[in-house]
Structures are given as structure tokens and as C-alpha cells.
Copies of this chain bind each other. A is one copy, B any other.
Amino acid sequence: MMIIMKVGATKDQINAVMSSVENLGLKAHPILGDEHTVIGVVGEVQSLPPDQFVRMPGVERSLPISKPYKLASLELHPKSTTVTAGPMQVGGEGIAVIAGPCSVESRDQLLETAQAVHAAGAHALRGGAFKPRTSPYTFQGMGEEGLEILAEAREITGLPIVTEVMEPDLVELVASYADVLQLGTRNMQNYALLRAAGESGKPVLLKRGMSASLKEFLLAAEYVLSTGNQNVILCERGIRTFETATRNTTDINAVPVLKAQTHLPVIVDPSHSTGDWNYVAAVSRAAIAAGADGLILEVHPNPLEAMSDGGQSLKPKRFVELMRQLDAIAKAVDRSMAPAPERVAVPAV
């Protein structure tokens, strides 16, 4: 931590700050600049309030130097983490694609989608059974019945299941069906949920809060990691900016920045980060070109009749075409699509 004294801070003020630092068992190193004196604080500052010292007379502000996350840090854990969920691996050499509808709407809809994305080479099936909705008046999901349908789809296709859990009390139930627990953008700082999901032992797909800085995102991951669960997949899903031409702004910079700061795998969700199926293929390609380890995509057999997010869902036919494009991009960055999960015999639905 660096403490910046005001221009004109007195010797007594500087000494008082230094004493206060040393009384906490830390060391104070003053630097006398032409305008400002700066006091470097050395020692274990991580559990101090970030604004410790700023109220002392003569102090202008203080600056943290160390990164506040430790378990998520690439500096301290330089080996990449690969998260395994059933036959899917995220974070290794292969690119993983998680696909499926926004919501589980019916058995027919889900099984049709599951088989289509399976046939196209997807590595996991997504689908929401419990849905966070901005308005209390819109469809809130099928609940446990949706989870049962997802499990059936897994049996048929072999695809592991990624589905959202919205409250700590439902973690046990959702974890009993799902292969990966998805934590949504609105819950990135729902600490009880982060802990409960971590403690379930299941891999966690953590979506970035729509206005969370990357530092806050890594601190949210730190909550999960601090439960001893190392299987966290980070997902950039677009941030909120002034631009309204798209639902969110895909922060493509986040991909190389996260890869430089953390050992955790990083995927992108172009369906939500654009909010418009017309732009999903372009941004999916961009994500892989930028170094993402995978994608999570909304696919719906009949977007016209989707109960949520129809506007941003790909039809299966376009998804097949996108998978072909992604294969070419993966090769261009010296990677490849992960091998598809072993195809099980698919009985007629």
C-alpha cells in the first residue's frame, strides 16, 4: 500500500502516519517528492480496510499495490487449470462449446435441441430450469421438472449438463442433476450463493456481473476457490455501457487480460453479450481468435416460439455452420475444437 500525503503535509502529520503504520506491525518507507510525500507500507495489508489511514490529517489518498485475489492469481499459481465435467474439459488445448436453449420449456423442445447440438459437435448442454427474470410477470422456468428433462437429455446424448442455480437453498437440488453449476450475472456478488456452490464440489461456471470490473470478477471467483473448490470457469457475458445498439458490450479485451491474470479457464457468452442472433457468429469467432477456451451459446429449434431470449438464439442449422467456422478459427490460433463427447446410441424420442 502507498499512502500519498497532501501537498504541504507537515512533518508531524507524516510522522503520525508512520507511527500509525508501525503500530500495526507494518513497516513505513517515506519518499519525499517535490510536491507529495509518499509512504510505502510493507507487510500484511490484505485484511486492512482499503481506506485505512485516509482519514489521518495530511493524507490525500492511499493506493493498493498487491492484487487482492490470491487463489485465482496466475502470478502465484502459474499452471493453467483445466476444469473437467463429465466428458468435457475446459481450459486445455481444445475449445469447448456449451449450447442449448435459454430455458427448458418442454421435454420435446429440450430433447430436440440436445440432439441437434450433440450432432453438431457441442461439448455440453445448457438450459435453464430456474430463471432470473427482470420482471416478476414473465416466465420463471420449469423448476425441478426442467432438471429432470435435462438429465434425460444427458442420458440420451452423453452431454454433460450446465444449468443455473439462483439461491443457496437450491444448490443441493440443482447439483444432484447438473454437471456444472452456472452462477448468473446478477448473482456474481451473491456471496452466500458463491460459497454454497463452491461447497457443493461441482464445477462452477461463473458469469461476470454486468458492471463488475475484472478485479471484482476475480474476487468473486476467489470466494468459490476459498471453499477448496478449484473448478471455476470464468465467463465474459458482456458489460453494461452507454451503447444501446446491442444488449450489452462484449468486453473482448477481458479475454487476454484474464488469461494474463488468472490460471482459470475463460469462456465467452456471445448470445447475452450481443443480445441478437445476427451478431452471435461474428463475436463467437472473435472470442476464440482472442484466446478464449470456449463458448456458451443459446440454440433453439424454433426461436420464434421461445419463451425467453428468442431474439438471441441460433437455429440448429446456423449453429452447425458456426461450429465449422470455429473449427477454422481454432486452427488459425493453433488450437482445435475439443473432441466431441463419445456419442451414445440415440433412441428415437
A residues neighboring B (CB under 8 Å): 2, 4, 6-8, 29, 31-36, 38, 40, 42-44, 46-47, 49, 51-52, 54-56, 63, 65-66, 68-69, 75-76, 132-139, 166-169, 186-187, 189-193, 210-211, 213-216, 219, 222-223, 226, 239-246, 249-257, 260, 273-274, 277-279, 282-283, 285-291, 303-304, 306-312, 325, 328-329, 331-333
Contact = CB atoms under 8 A, between A and B. Distances in A.
Contacts of A139: 47, 49
Nearest to A227: B136
Contacts of A257: 245-246, 279
Given A135-B222, A169-B192, A249-B251, 13 more contacts: A2-B2, A29-B31, A34-B66, A46-B137, A55-B303, A186-B189, A186-B190, A213-B242, A213-B244, A245-B253, A256-B282, A283-B290, A328-B333
Given A245-B257, A253-B245, A279-B256, A211 B213 contact: no
A46 B166 CA distance: 24
A243 B250 contact: no
A343 to B, nearest CB: 26
A52 B332 contact: no
A168 B8 CA distance: 39
A222 B136 CA distance: 7
A42 B34 contact: yes
Nearest to A275: B51
Nearest to A166: B192
A204 to B, nearest CB: 15
Contacts of A2: 2, 38, 63
A195 to B, nearest CB: 9
A8 B75 contact: yes
Nearest to A302: B55
A242 B274 CA distance: 15
A241 to B, nearest CB: 5
Nearest to A258: B245
A41 to B, nearest CB: 8
A323 to B, nearest CB: 13
A134 B46 CA distance: 12
A65 B42 contact: no
Nearest to A29: B31
A211 B212 CA distance: 9
B214 A191 contact: no
